[in-house]
Structure 1
Amino acid sequence: MAKILLIEDNEMNRDMLSRRLKRRGFDVVVAFDGESGVSTAKSELPDLIVMDMSLPILDGWEATKRLKQINSTCNIPIIGCSAHAMVGDREKGMEAGCDDYDTKPIEFGRLLGKIEKLLEKYSGN
Structure 2
Amino acid sequence: MKTVLIVEDDPINLRVFSKILTKRGGLNVKGTEDVEEVIQIAHSGVIDIILMDVSLAHSVYQGKPMDGIKITQMLKADAQTSKLPIILVTAHAMEGDRENFLRQSGADGYISKPVVDHQKFVDQIMALLPKD
Q: How far did 1:37 drift?
A: 2.2
Report whether the alignment pairs 1:76 with 2:84: yes
More displaced stretch, 104-113 vs 30-39: 30-39
Q: How many residues align?
A: 122
String of CA shifts for 1:64-96, please: whole Å, max 9, x gaps.
Answer: 000101112110111101000112211122111
RMSD, aligned α-carbons: 1.6
Runs of at least 4 residues off by over 4 Å: none
Q: Could you tell me which residue of structure 2 aligns to residue 19 of structure 1?
A: 19
Q: Which ranges in structure 2 are unaligned for 5 or more consecutive residues?
A: 60-65
Amino acid in structure 2 at the alignment position of 1:21: L
Question: What percent of counterpart residues are identical?
Answer: 36
Higher Rg: 2
Is the 1:53–1:59 contact (alpha carbons within 8 Å) kept by the matching residues of 2? yes
Equivalences for residues 92-111 of structure 1 within 5 A: 92-95=100-103, 96-107=105-116, 108-111=118-121
| Greater mean alpha carbon deviation, residues 109-118 or residues 26-35 | 26-35
Aligned partner letter, 2:106: G
Whole-angstrom distance in 2 between the partners of 1:9 and 1:80: 13
Q: 1:98–1:51: structure 2 CA closer, same or farther, 3 Å change rule?
A: same
Work out whether residues 21 and 27 of structure 2, in 8 Å CA contact, stay in contact via their aligned partners in 1.
Answer: yes
**In the aligned structure 1, how far is the partner of 2:32 from the partner of 2:125?**
18
Q: Deviations over 1:21-42 (max 9, x none)?
A: 1223211111124453233222
